A and B are shown apart, each in its own frame.
Chain A
């Protein structure tokens, strides 16, 4: 199945802001407002950061924000911290044959 496209890696210095993109098609990201974002520290379970494009679950830092334009969704981390170093995945509703599709994943490195 086709995954959503994310950059393999993004890096930034502490305190900076970074943005991770998630590109799909009109059949998924572009056509519907059901994009989610997950943070994954290796060896731990992924954590839901964002759902329905822009919504943060209770307890998620407001340093994490997200948006969508056309077929591309974006996750922005402001005030980058060492603990933000992790893998990040987007997910989206899709009209294709499966119920859930995820992005290829982005490794965030804090310099």
Chain B
């Protein structure tokens, strides 16, 4: 059974950079069949997709966060990571990592991801932005 677990500091100061790592167990991150995603949920609000990364490092980010987001992958550790810079209180949220399952019925990779779904999730890590 695939499992994902987020880890990282739970408290970050405004204007600083937050970092989270997702450790994948029960399966290899090094596969062409899936991408690996970060999705957040601010308190009392819905889910927001942040971005997805392949094991080779190809990334897709949501436009509203693109200028502040960096995702990376460490295949030797079966991990992938999220960095979000210049954080504000609006970035306070539970951050989930997830496996992004693309729809293989189209050729274009971005369209595969857009038509796909998130089939395994971590339980989430609360990150609070406060001084």
Contacts and interface: CB of A to CB of B under 8 A. Distances in A.
Interface of A: 1, 3, 32, 34, 36, 38, 43-48, 51-52, 57, 89, 91, 93-94, 97-105
B119 A100 contact: no
Contacts of A104: 46
Interface of B: 4, 37, 39, 46-49, 52, 60, 62-64, 96, 98, 101, 103, 110, 113-124
A45 B124 contact: yes
A98 B51 CA distance: 9
Contacts of A98: 49, 62-64
A36 B47 contact: no
Contacts of A97: 63
Nearest to A46: B121
A50 to B, nearest CB: 9
Contact of B117 (A1, A43, A51, A94): A51
A64 to B, nearest CB: 14
B117 A45 contact: no
Contact of A105 (B46, B49, B117, B118): B46
